[in-house]
């Protein structure tokens, strides 16, 4: 028994076996026993830590204080970085939704591109509105406009919903302030500005192929008409907003783009500007939490107060928007703990040595692990957080630059959206909201997500080879 424990806790094979068992237990709890991901991550982390022979003090601290323990530092280290950003991003998306900003954006794009290019307009709506708004919220808000456009043209609803879904999906996977990319920034220690740059570099080509070209091909081969009840729902949504003063397209675009511009100014300022007052100003206002706070306050005033919302209305809107955020933060925090445990066991160094001898690039490993986790348990956020926890120790050892770290993050993000199927809540949202059968959802949405994933990773790998 002593010999086995010594092998398990100190040899490369033993540490790899231990981490593999930990991941298998994690997936078994989530998939088979339907344990909440945050609880499953916590249990798996504790089991791996105990199996690795880490001391109780190292894992949970003492009865008096757990400040320096893996449990508290793992949770706190990542949540200290992401909690404010995710909360503020959620608030920004909620006020844009409630003010009708999404409808304005989509209708103007439809008018600009015309009926023949309405699918492209829907895709751009998803791409732009998907920056601050969560994937499912984007569907809830923009689905009525898809119904109207598809019914007016008499063509398959796939020509209109798939471009929209492609835009929403890539933004949710690759760009802050969405939970996955923000968690990546904290777990991989990568600057959010670089994550935005590389995320866009991978997301836009993926969207062009999976969100524009694929829908135009599959939409002509699978004809799914718009159900009458969806048209009635669209009319009811339009009636609800009738008479409400709409925000201008310029105002909506300004509020969506402002935090991204501020973050990017800080990133480029740190490279191009000498130390001094100007750099300090850029650094302060370009901090993601500060940039999003500014955008949220402006949105509350320009889209809320100036358009008749009371302080009570805004307070209720904020409270409702933030309620679902709690579970997301718990999953991310538990993922941080799981990653901290893996790092403390030394499995990262062991795995790095094994991969070096096998010749498998780190970016490919990151993508493959994320793909496996996504297909196995369905959640993109869980796949991102868990993968980052697994490869994080190797990333630290590799001494990568910020752009390279961002590309590793993009590869993980790409893997997290592959092959959405029946274990993914998003699969059923797509099927339900657009009236697509399970079989056709697998033939369309599942294939689209796979295309987005593969193209996104291909771009990340190509850029990694030249940077």
pLDDT, tens only, 187-231: 898 998 999 999 999 999 999 999 999 999 999 999 999 877 666
| pLDDT value at residue 455 | 98
Kindly report the number of other CB atoms within 10 A of residue 265's CB atom: 18
Nearest to 385 by CA among 8, 16, 44: 44
Residue 242 preceded by cis peptide, ω within 30:
no
Instruction: Look at 237 and 252; give whichever has higher pLDDT.
Output: 252
pLDDT at 459: 98
Read off the pLDDT of residues 409-447 as tens digits, 9 standing for 90 and up: 999 999 999 999 877 888 988 888 888 988 999 999 999
What is the average per-residue pLDDT within 350-373? 76
pLDDT one-digit tens code per residue, 116-145: 788 888 899 899 888 887 787 788 778 877
Q: How far apart are CA 90 and CA 85, in angstroms?
A: 9
Q: What is the pLDDT of residue 438?
A: 85
Instruction: Give the closest residue to 338 by CA, choosing from 10, 18, 57, 11.
Output: 18
> What is the Cα Rg of the chain in Å?
23
State residue 426's pLDDT score: 87
Mean pLDDT in the chain? Answer: 85
Here the contacts of 105-109 (C-beta below 8 Å, separation 24 or greater) are 105/129, 105/249, 105/252, 105/253, 106/142, 106/145, 107/145, 108/249
- In the structure, what pLDDT confidence band is assigned to residue 241 with cuts at 50, 70 and 90? low
Distance (Å, whole) CA 193 – CA 182: 11
The pLDDT, as a whole number, for residue 160 is 93
| Opening angle at CA 302, ends 248 and 191, nearest 5 | 95
Query: What is residue 299's predicted lDDT score, i.e. its pLDDT?
Result: 93
> Is 382:335 a contact under the CB 8 Å cutoff?
yes
Residue 231: per-residue pLDDT: 63
pTM of the model: 0.80
Three-class SS state of 419:
coil
pLDDT for position 242: 58
Question: Which of 106, 45, 91, 69 shows the shortest CA–CA distance to 252?
Answer: 106
pLDDT of residue 296: 93
């Amino acid at each position: 028994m002593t010999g086995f424990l010594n092998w398990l806790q100190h040899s490369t094979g033993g540490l790899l076996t231990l981490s593999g068992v930990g991941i298998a237990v994690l997936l078994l709890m989530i998939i088979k026993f339907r344990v909440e991901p945050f609880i499953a991550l916590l249990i798996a982390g504790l089991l791996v830590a105990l199996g690795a022979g880490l001391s109780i003090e190292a894992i949970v601290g003492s009865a008096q204080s757990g400040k320096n323990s893996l449990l508290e530092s793992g949770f706190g280290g990542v949540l200290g970085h992401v909690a404010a950003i995710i909360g503020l991003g959620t608030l920004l998306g909620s006020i844009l939704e409630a003010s009708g900003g999404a409808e304005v954006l989509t209708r103007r794009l439809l008018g600009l591109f015309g009926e023949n290019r309405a699918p492209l307009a829907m895709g751009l709506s998803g791409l732009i509105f998907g920056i601050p708004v969560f994937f499912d919220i984007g569907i809830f808000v923009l689905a009525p406009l898809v119904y109207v456009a598809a019914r007016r043209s008499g063509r398959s609803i796939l020509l209109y919903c798939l471009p929209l879904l492609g835009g929403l999906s890539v933004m949710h996977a690759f760009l802050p302030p969405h939970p996955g990319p923000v968690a990546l920034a904290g777990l991989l220690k990568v600057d959010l500005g670089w994550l935005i740059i590389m995320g866009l570099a991978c997301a836009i080509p993926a969207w062009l192929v999976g969100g524009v070209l694929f829908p135009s091909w599959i939409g002509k081969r699978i004809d799914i008409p718009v159900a009458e009840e969806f048209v009635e729902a669209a009319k009811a949504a339009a009636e609800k907003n009738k008479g409400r003063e709409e925000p201008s397209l310029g105002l909506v675009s300004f509020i969506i783009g402002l935090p991204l511009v501020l973050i990017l100014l800080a990133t480029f300022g740190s490279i191009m500007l000498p130390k001094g007052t100007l750099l300090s100003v850029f650094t302060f206002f370009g901090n993601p939490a500060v940039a999003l706070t500014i955008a949220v306050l402006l949105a509350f005033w320009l889209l809320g107060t100036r358009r008749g919302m009371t302080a009570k209305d805004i307070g209720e809107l904020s409270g409702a928007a933030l309620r679902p955020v709690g579970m997301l933060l718990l999953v991310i925090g538990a993922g941080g703990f799981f990653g901290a445990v893996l790092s403390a066991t030394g499995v990262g160094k062991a795995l790095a040595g094994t991969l070096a001898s096998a010749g498998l690039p780190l970016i490919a490993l990151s993508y493959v692990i994320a793909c496996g986790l996504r297909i196995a348990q369905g959640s993109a956020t869980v796949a991102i957080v868990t993968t980052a926890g697994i490869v994080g120790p190797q990333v630290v050892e590799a001494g990568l630059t910020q752009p390279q770290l961002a590309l590793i993050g993009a590869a993980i993000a790409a893997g997290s959206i592959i092959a959405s199927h029946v274990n993914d809540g998003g699969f059923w949202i797509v099927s339900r909201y657009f009236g697509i059968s399970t079989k056709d959802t697998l033939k369309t949405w599942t294939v689209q997500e796979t295309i987005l994933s593969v193209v996104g990773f291909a771009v990340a790998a190509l850029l990694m080879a030249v940077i």
